[in-house]
Structure 1
Amino acid sequence: MTGSSPYLLNDRNAARYRRDVLAGVDRVASRLSTQDRPFTGITADRLAPEVAAIDLERPLGDPAAALDELERVYLRDAVYFHHPRYLAHLNCPVVIPALLGEAVLSAVNSSLDTWDQSAGGTLIERRLIDWTAERIGLGPAADGVFTSGGTQSNLQAMLLARDETCRLMEKDGLPRADILPRLCVLASECAHFSVVKAAALLGLGEDAVIAVPSDADRRMRDDALARELGRCRRRGLVPMAVVATAGTTDFGSIDPLPQIAEVCQRTGVWLHVDAAYGCGLLVSRRRHLLAGIERADSVTVDYHKSFFQPVSSSAVLVRDRATLRHVTYHADYLNPARSTAERIPNQVDKSIQTTRRFDALKLWLTLRIMGPDAVGELFDAVVDRAEEAWHLLDADPRFEVVSRPQLSTLVFRYVPGESVAPGLIDRANLHARAALSASGEAVIAGTVVDGRHHLKFTLLNPDTSVSDVADVLDLVAGHARDYLGGSLAQAS
C-alpha cells in the first residue's frame, strides 16, 4: 500500500475528520434530545449476542453504517447520567466546556509523560495542580499529578506513605525487609475499598488495613483512631498512614479532619485525605466542611465526580513535593537523569503511569469558560437537593433513612407498616431496585448497612428535582409492596 491512509488525521484529511466527528456528535445530540428515561432496562443476556455476532474481521467501511450499528449496540441502551432520574453511583452529568476539551485533547493526542511530547500541556497540568493545592491550602512546597481516578490516586498516596515511612526508619539502621511486615494503615470502616486494594498491591496484604469505628453519622471516631494507633504500637506495628475520607461513597460523610490531623501530628503518622467525592467543596459555599484538609500529607481529588468532568479527570496531591521522588525512575530514552539538572519538566517523574492523556485540558477549559464559582454552584445545588430529599424521606413512613447527608447521598430502605421478617424486607428492597432498573424509569444504587440491604440515591445532577425524587420513591414503594404482597400470598 502506498500513499497516506484516508483514515489518518493529518493535513490532507482534516475535512474528513471534521465531517466524521460531527456526525458522531449529531448522533449523541439527537439521542440526548429524545431520551425520556435514563436506561432501557436491557440485560447483558439480551445484548451480548448482538455484540458477539459482529464480525470484526469485516469492516463496514462507512462511518454512517458504523454509527447505525453503534446505535444498536451502545447508544440505544447506554446508561445516561445526564437524566434527572439517574440516581445510582458517583457519575455526574458533564459540562460542555469539558467536552470541548475532550475533543481537542483526543485529536492532538499529547502524552503527558515528557516535555518533548506535551510542551504546553505539561505547563497547563502543572498550573492546575498548583491551583488545586492552593484551594486545599497545602502550602508552597505542594505538588502532584493527574491520575486515572481515585483508586490510582489512593494507591500512589499509599506508595508514597509506605516508602517515606521506610526511608525514615532506614535512617535508624533498620533494613526494609524487617520494616515492611510491620506496616499498617488505619482507615474508617466506611473508607473506600481501594485503600485495602492498595495495601494488597503494595505487598502489605489486606490485613494491613485496620478499620477504625465510625459514629452514628458514619464519620471516623478520632478517639477510636487514637486508641487503635496506641494498640498498633504496643503490638509492634508501624502505622504508615491514616486515611481520612472527605465524602464516603455510601453516606457522603466527612471524617472530622481537624481532630484526625491533630492525632496524626501528635503521633507522627502520614495523613492522607481521600476527597475523591468531597473535592467539589473546594469551590463551594460549603468550603468550611473541608476544614483540616490543609494539614494532610496527601490528598485525592476526583474532578470527574464533583467538578462535572468526563471520565477520567483526577489527581493526587502532596504537601511536600520531595516525597514524589519515591515514584521517580529515569530511562535514558525518555527522561534521563540530566533532565532534572537541565530543568526540563517531565511529568513522568511524578507519576506511576508513563503514557498519560492530557485530561487536565478538560478542567482547564471548564475553569477558563465557566469559572470555579459556577462549578461550585452546580455542586451546591445537588447538596441542597439531597437535604430536601432527606426531609422527604424522613417524613415518609414507608422508608427509614440511615443518616442525614453532608453531601449528596442518601441511604434508606423500604419498610412495610406491618410486621414482616427482616429477610423478606431485604428481598423486597433488592427486588424494587432490580424492577426499577428493568423498567428504565430510574436507576438507583444499593448497599448493605449493618447486615441489611438498603437502597441508595446519589444525587449529582442539578436538574434532578424534589418531584423526581418523590416520584422515584413512589415507584420503589410500589415495586416493594407488590413483591411483599406476592410473597405473603404464596406463604399463606
Structure 2
Amino acid sequence: MRSHLLNDTTAEQYRRSVTEGVERVAAKLATTGRPFTGVTVDALSPRIDGIDLDEPLHDTTAALDELEDVYLRDAVYFHHPRYLAHLNCPVVIPAVLGEAVLSAVNSSLDTWDQSAGGTLIERKLIDWTCARIGLGPAADGVFTSGGTQSNLQALLLAREEAKTEDFGSLRIFASEVSHFSVKKSAKLLGLGPDAVVSVPVDRDKRMQTVALARELERCTKDGLVPMAVVATGGTTDFGSIDPLPEIAGLCEQYGVWLHVDAAYGCGLLASLKYRDRITGIERADSVTVDYHKSFFQPVSSSAVLVRDAATLRHATYHAEYLNPRRMVQERIPNQVDKSLQTTRRFDALKLWMTLRVMGADGIGELFDEVCDLAAEGWRLLAADPRFDVVVQPSLSTLVFRYIPADVTDPAEIDRANLYARKALFASGDAVVAGTKVAGRHYLKFTLLNPETTTADIAAVLDLIAGHAEQYLGDSLDRAS
C-alpha cells in the first residue's frame, strides 16, 4: 500500500487524484441549483450504514462515485445565494488553494522543527491582525480551531491574571445574548455554576453598560472577584455590537480583564466603510477573531489575540521531547508555547494566500457588501406587514418572524414559523436558521454571501409566508 503514500515517487498519482476530485467538486458547484436537496436522515443513513469500511474499493474513481452518493449530492452548499442560515461563509479561491497546499505538505505548527516558515507566516499574520485591531507593540496571539477555543484560552488567561486561588469567588460578566462558549469555558476552567453573570441588553441587543456597572459594583461589595468582562463584537443571533468604549472604561475603572469576542464582527477590521462600528476593540486585553466567518476562509481559521504577550505564559508548558526550555534561550520560535493545542494545522496559510492575492481591501469589500445587503433586507422586512423584524442590523444578520393577519395566539404563530423553517429546509429551496426571542420562535437570515441579492431575500420571504400559511390553513381544517 506504499503506492498511496504522498512522496517523490507518487507525485504524479497525487496530481491525477486531486485533479479528479477538484473536477468533481467544480462540476457540482457549477450545477447546484439549490442549497440543499432536502434529503432526510432516514433516507441518507442506510446508504452510509450499508458501506463496509473493511472492504476498500481500491480505486479513486470508484471512491469518488461513492462519495457523490453519500455526501456531495446531498451536502449543504454554503456558496448558494439562498443559503441564509448560520455563520457559514462561501470561501475565496486563494484560501482553498492554501488549504490544498497545507494539507499536502502537512506541516504541524507546534514547533519550529515541524514547520519552519509556517511558524513565521503564522506569527506575521498574528502581528498583522493585532495591528488591525490596534492592540499595541506588545501584542501577540496564536491561531486556534475556532471561536470557542479562542474564548476558552482568553478566559484561562483572565483567570490566571486574577491572581486568586479561590475560583469560587471569580465572576465573568457577559451579555444575556453572548455566545454559549462563555458558560462552557467557565465550567471547563473549574469555576462555580454562578460564575457567569448575565448582563441585560437594550432593545438593540447590546449590553447595557448601566447594568454592567451595577453588577461590577455589587460583585465588589459582596467580596467577589470580577475576573473578566466579555463584550461581543457581533452576537451570533443578532450581529449586535456591545458599546465597547464604555465597557472598556468600566473595565479600566474596576481593573477587570476585557475580552472582546469578535468572532463574527472581525470582518470590520478589513472594512472600507464600517470599521468605526467596532471602535473600542483596541482597548481589549484579548480578542477572538474567526477568519472562517467574515474573512471568507474555509473552516477552521481563528485566532486569539492579547494586548500583552507575557500573559500567554499561562498556556506554556515545556516537554523535553518537544519544546525544552533551552529553546527559549536559543531564540527558537515555538508556537506550542502559546497554544492550548499541540499538533496544529497550518491554517494560517489560507489567510496568507488570501491577503497575498486579494489584499485586505478585497476581503473588506466583500464583507461591506453583505452588511449593505442586510440593511436592504431590513428595509424589506420593516415594510412588509407579514413580518416582524427584531433589530436593525449592525452586521449581516436579520431576525424576524411571520405574523399572520388573522391569528393572535402566540403559540400558534410559533408553530407556523417552526413549520415554515422545516418545510423550507425539506424542500431544499433555501436554508434559514431559527432562534428564540423573549421565549418566542423567530427565524434568522445570516447573510454572508455577496452573491445573495435582495431578490433572493424577497423570494425566500415569500416561500416562508407560503409555508406558514399552508400550515395555518391545514390547522384550521384539522380544527373543523
TM normalised by structure 1 equals 0.97
Q: 1:148 and 2:145 equivalent?
A: yes
Q: Is the 8 A contact 1:183 1:204 kept in 2?
A: yes
Residue 317 of structure 1 deviates from its aligned partner by 0.2
The residue that corresponds to 2:335 in the other structure is: 347
What is the count of residue pairs matched by the alignment? 479
Q: 1:233 and 2:230 equivalent?
A: no
What is the alpha-carbon distance in structure 2 between the residues aligned to residue 151 and residue 388 of structure 1? 31
The residue that corresponds to 1:333 in the other structure is: 321
Q: 1:318 and 2:317 equivalent?
A: no
Measured against aligned partners, the alpha-carbon deviations of 1:214-266 in whole angstroms (never above 9, x if no partner) come to 00000001111000011111222111000000000000000000000000000
The code of the aligned residue for 1:490 comes to R
Residue 303 of structure 1 deviates from its aligned partner by 0.2
What is the alpha-carbon distance in structure 2 between the residues aligned to residue 45 and residue 372 of structure 1? 44
The residue that corresponds to 1:91 in the other structure is: 88
What is the alpha-carbon distance in structure 2 between the residues aligned to residue 42 and residue 313 of structure 1? 29
Q: Is the 8 A contact 2:35 2:431 kept in 1?
A: yes
Residue 205 of structure 1 deviates from its aligned partner by 3.5
**RMSD of aligned residue pairs (Cα, Å):** 0.7
SS of residue matched to 1:437:
helix
Q: 1:372 and 2:360 equivalent?
A: yes
Q: Is the 8 A contact 2:122 2:143 kept in 1?
A: yes
For residue 53 of structure 2, the aligned residue among 42, 52, 56 is: 56
Unaligned runs of 5+ in 1: 170-175
The code of the aligned residue for 2:49 comes to A
Superposed structure 1 runs of 4+ greater than 4 Å apart: none
The residue that corresponds to 1:14 in the other structure is: 11
What is the alpha-carbon distance in structure 2 between the residues aligned to residue 381 and residue 52 of structure 1? 42
Q: Is the 8 A contact 1:197 1:206 kept in 2?
A: no
For residue 102 of structure 2, the aligned residue among 102, 105, 122 is: 105
More displaced 10-residue stretch of structure 1: 337-346 or 205-214 = 205-214
For residue 189 of structure 2, the aligned residue among 202, 216, 225 is: 202
Measured against aligned partners, the alpha-carbon deviations of 1:321-376 in whole angstroms (never above 9, x if no partner) come to 00000000000000001110110000000000000000000000000000000100
The code of the aligned residue for 1:353 comes to Q
The residue that corresponds to 1:120 in the other structure is: 117
What is the alpha-carbon distance in structure 1 between the residues aligned to residue 111 and residue 335 of structure 2? 6
SS of residue matched to 1:6:
helix
For residue 482 of structure 1, the aligned residue among 470, 473, 476 is: 470
Q: 1:279 and 2:266 equivalent?
A: yes
Residue 44 of structure 1 deviates from its aligned partner by 1.2
The residue that corresponds to 1:173 in the other structure is: none
SS of residue matched to 2:460:
helix
SS of residue matched to 1:207:
coil
What is the alpha-carbon distance in structure 2 between the residues aligned to residue 355 and residue 443 of structure 1? 35
**Distance 1:109-1:232 versus aligned 2 partners, 3 A rule:** same
The code of the aligned residue for 1:95 comes to V
Q: 1:357 and 2:354 equivalent?
A: no
The code of the aligned residue for 1:476 comes to I
What is the alpha-carbon distance in structure 1 between the residues aligned to residue 296 and residue 407 of structure 2? 43
**Distance 1:205-1:39 versus aligned 2 partners, 3 A rule:** farther
The residue that corresponds to 1:456 in the other structure is: 444
Measured against aligned partners, the alpha-carbon deviations of 1:420-472 in whole angstroms (never above 9, x if no partner) come to 31101000000000000000000000000000000000000000000000000
SS of residue matched to 2:4:
coil
The residue that corresponds to 2:250 in the other structure is: 263
For residue 155 of structure 2, the aligned residue among 154, 158, 183 is: 158
For residue 416 of structure 1, the aligned residue among 393, 397, 404 is: 404
What is the alpha-carbon distance in structure 2 between the residues aligned to residue 44 and residue 237 of structure 1? 48
SS of residue matched to 1:244:
strand
What is the alpha-carbon distance in structure 2 between the residues aligned to residue 286 and residue 142 of structure 1? 24
Q: Is the 8 A contact 2:421 2:434 kept in 1?
A: yes
SS of residue matched to 1:384:
helix
More displaced 10-residue stretch of structure 1: 229-238 or 293-302 = 229-238
The residue that corresponds to 1:381 in the other structure is: 369
The residue that corresponds to 1:402 in the other structure is: 390
Q: 1:25 and 2:16 equivalent?
A: no
What is the alpha-carbon distance in structure 1 between the residues aligned to residue 180 and residue 7 of structure 2? 44
Measured against aligned partners, the alpha-carbon deviations of 1:168-220 in whole angstroms (never above 9, x if no partner) come to x4xxxxxx2xx211011000001000000000111113421010000000000
Residue 45 of structure 1 deviates from its aligned partner by 1.5
Q: Is the 8 A contact 1:144 1:317 kept in 2?
A: yes
What is the alpha-carbon distance in structure 2 between the residues aligned to residue 392 and residue 350 of structure 1? 47
What is the alpha-carbon distance in structure 1 between the residues aligned to residue 422 and residue 229 of structure 2? 37
Q: Is the 8 A contact 1:148 1:313 kept in 2?
A: yes
The residue that corresponds to 2:39 in the other structure is: 42
TM normalised by structure 2 equals 0.99
Q: Is the 8 A contact 1:102 1:362 kept in 2?
A: yes
Unaligned runs of 5+ in 2: none
What is the alpha-carbon distance in structure 2 between the residues aligned to residue 37 and residue 88 of structure 1? 14
What is the alpha-carbon distance in structure 1 between the residues aligned to residue 192 and residue 18 of structure 2? 46
Q: Is the 8 A contact 2:127 2:140 kept in 1?
A: yes
What is the alpha-carbon distance in structure 2 between the residues aligned to residue 38 and residue 149 of structure 1? 24
SS of residue matched to 2:388:
strand
What is the alpha-carbon distance in structure 2 between the residues aligned to residue 205 and residue 89 of structure 1? 31
SS of residue matched to 2:71:
helix
What is the alpha-carbon distance in structure 2 between the residues aligned to residue 217 and residue 139 of structure 1? 31
What is the alpha-carbon distance in structure 2 between the residues aligned to residue 43 and residue 95 of structure 1? 30
Residue 490 of structure 1 deviates from its aligned partner by 1.6
Q: Is the 8 A contact 2:399 2:442 kept in 1?
A: yes
What is the alpha-carbon distance in structure 2 between the residues aligned to residue 33 and residue 296 of structure 1? 43
What is the alpha-carbon distance in structure 1 between the residues aligned to residue 252 and residue 192 of structure 2? 26
The code of the aligned residue for 1:138 comes to L
The residue that corresponds to 1:134 in the other structure is: 131
For residue 305 of structure 1, the aligned residue among 287, 293, 298 is: 293
The residue that corresponds to 1:68 in the other structure is: 65
